[in-house]
Amino acid sequence: MSQESEVPFERARRVTSEESQEFRAAIADQFEIKLKKRGRPTKEEEEKYEPISIRLHPKILAWAKEEAKKREIGYQTVINKVLLEQIS
């Protein structure tokens, strides 16, 4: 049996972001549901995080990962919260 597709993918085009928004709105209207937005929420300018690289002692990292598992959040969030508590 042949598993070849009958869809001519070579003639397909990409969907624009505007079309995608229209599709989502149409689905929400038709099924009377509110679709969740995907991705990270937007933040105020002062809340934007700056990506950095830092070296931590293995014990600190193990503690943060263990705490994160208990709290069911990311370990970087745990480290960030502890540091924010220290400066407040």
- Answer yes or no: is pLDDT of 79 > 80: yes
Residue from 47, 58, 65 nearest 78 by CA? 65
In a domain, 41, yes or no: yes
Looking at the predicted structure, is the pLDDT value of residue 87 above 70? yes
In a domain, 57, yes or no: yes
Domain annotation covers residue 23: yes
Contact partners, residue 49, CB within 8 Å, separation at least 6:
43, 80
The average confidence (pLDDT) of the chain is 88
Domain that includes residue 62, residue range:
9-87
- pLDDT tens column, 37-46: 777 667 776 7
| pLDDT value for 1 | 53
pTM: 0.50
* pLDDT given at position 38: 75
Number of domains in the chain: 1
